[in-house]
Copies of this chain bind each other. A is one copy, B any other.
Amino acid sequence: MTTTAKTTASKPRNSGDIQHWDIDTDVAIIGFGGAGAAAAIEAADAGAKVTIFELASASGGSTALSSAEIYMGGNGGTPVQKACGYHDDTENMVNYLKACFGNQADDNKIRDYCENSLNHYQWLTGLGVPFKMSELKERAIMALTDDCLLFTGNEKAYPFTEHATPVPRGHNLEVEGDNGGPLLMKILTEAVQSRHVEVHYDSRALTLISNDKGEVEGIVVRIDQQEKTVRARKGVILCAGGFCMNEAMVRKYAPTFDRGLIPIGNPGDTGSGILMGMGVGAGTTNMHECFVSLPYYPPASLTFGILINDKAQRFINEDCYHGRVGYNALMAQRNAQRIYFITDVEGYGDYEKMSYLGAQVAGTGDSVVELEQELELPVGSLQHTVSEYNAGASEGKDPLFHKAAAWLRPLTPPYVALDCTLGRGPFYPFFTLGGLDTLASGEVLNPDGDVIPGLYAAGRTTAGIPRTAAGYASGMSVGDVTYFGRRAGISAAQK
């Protein structure tokens, strides 16, 4: 599914060379995933003539492939949060997101996102997005029930508990199974259609059109094997996804993740929107970062286990979100040949039935000594790690990594080790978190920080709220994509 082929020209066409405009619109949107749909709805509602160009034969993008929990809160709490007994301050949400992304955070976007999160909930439900007033309490990667609210990140894990009061903010759509993404895109697509937005499917955007002053005036698209020129009188919005499907771009910009991870997204995530933006002088940011995961739960019971490197050292509190754990596991492998998940039989539980992980059993042992030998770990190393861990766990403490007491109990024989080494079985999915440098308004900036007139972007074509897997939570990307898609649509329409 990946490509190294150049699919777009980064260099723009000059509008002075355009003899004829085949299509004339106010707002041209490239990409009909979550960002493009949200942008189209808002731009149309603001009175603009809107035209979408989508590479695939249907709407959806990567949003439709996702679970589409949507990360919302603050403002005292969304109706679902309130119904489930949670209060959520906006400042608490801001503090949490800042703790998640540190000096990689875009503080302006975080504030804007949090202050308007309740509004975004209302906008979504206004379009018919259904949320049940219920909570899913188990530790899960996604809700397979139609329950709404769940903890989808590191809210309850150290060190985030030092920075913000834990509140669940993942909002799962009211639908059984992992079907939130398709349902969300169905609703957004219907909303687009009901606004008589013009949609061209099977249309490849080839390059932007700009004038001598550097203002973006349109795009060149290929439809039915014919090049068409599109005049966009108010602006072009790039919502073309990230670049996880473009191996050459991943290697160049995010080499840490160019190590055989599995890209998750749609085949159009080739970075074409980013490249087109760069071609008209747009700056980029956070290009080196990706989401990555080691999805070791379900079963949640594995959280009682410990993750170790080839020195039998633990390196992360195992009650973190799978993205944070995956990120740390990936980083640990720069100086480790093996990564193992050590569990006892009780923790192993329904692993074989429930897991998405794909990790093979690397060893078993009736004692730690036996397991240590089977894994060829340094003599005494695993014995020390387990005995220290168990000593703390028996008192509900984890002095080294501060795993929460709820996930602490001594590990008891017999033991099982899962091989979590990259390239030896386990599923390490990834997608990109860097892109065009944009304001919260969706306006695209050049490297000097000046706005490029006529150009907007949203979704994973930009760097948004989520900046690193180490602070990611499920729902942050779909939340960012839909919210900032809306803002870009409004900005373009009001030009």
The answer to whether B448 touches A275 (Cβ under 8 A) is yes
| A290 to B: closest C-beta gap in Å | 12
Binary flags per residue of A204-239, CB closer than 8 Å to B gives 1, else 0: 000000001010000000000000000000000000
Q: A103-B258, A255-B103, A335-B328 are in contact. Are A6 and B449 (CB under 8 A)?
A: yes
Binary flags per residue of A84-101, CB closer than 8 Å to B gives 1, else 0: 000000000000000000
Q: Does A253 contact B (CB under 8 A)?
A: yes
Q: Does A47 contact B (CB under 8 A)?
A: no
The answer to whether A279 touches B281 (Cβ under 8 A) is yes
Give the complex CA separation of A253 and B6 in angstroms. 24
Q: A71-79, A116-124, A185-193, A376-384: which one contacts chain B?
A: A376-384
Q: Does A259 contact B (CB under 8 A)?
A: yes
> Which residues of chain B are near A380, meaning CB under 8 Å?
388
| A287 to B: closest C-beta gap in Å | 7
The answer to whether B214 touches A11 (Cβ under 8 A) is yes
| A435 to B: closest C-beta gap in Å | 13
Q: Does A183 contact B (CB under 8 A)?
A: no
Of the candidates B259, B388, B470, the one whose C-beta lies within 8 Å of that of A103 is B259
Contact residues, A337-388 vs B (CB, 8 A): 378-381, 384, 388
The answer to whether B379 touches A275 (Cβ under 8 A) is no
Binary flags per residue of A277-306, CB closer than 8 Å to B gives 1, else 0: 011010101111000000000000000000
Q: A103-B259, A214-B11 are in contact. Are A288 and B288 (CB under 8 A)?
A: yes
> Which residues of chain B are near A311, meaning CB under 8 Å?
313-314, 400-401
How many residues on A have C-beta within 8 angstroms of the other chain's C-beta atoms? Answer: 51
Q: Does A147 contact B (CB under 8 A)?
A: no
Q: Does A46 contact B (CB under 8 A)?
A: no
Q: A10-B446, A281-B278, A315-B335 are in contact. Are A251 and B381 (CB under 8 A)?
A: no
> Which residues of chain B are near A400, meaning CB under 8 Å?
311, 378, 381
Q: A279-B281, A379-B399, A437-B252 are in contact. Are A313 and B316 (CB under 8 A)?
A: no
Give the complex CA separation of A336 and B437 in angstroms. 31
The answer to whether A253 touches B285 (Cβ under 8 A) is yes
Q: Does A104 contact B (CB under 8 A)?
A: yes
Which residues of chain A have a CB within 8 Å of any CB of chain B? Answer: 6, 8-11, 14, 102-104, 212, 214, 251-253, 255, 258-259, 275, 278-279, 281, 283, 285-288, 311, 313-316, 328, 331, 334-335, 378-381, 384, 388, 399-401, 437, 446-450, 470
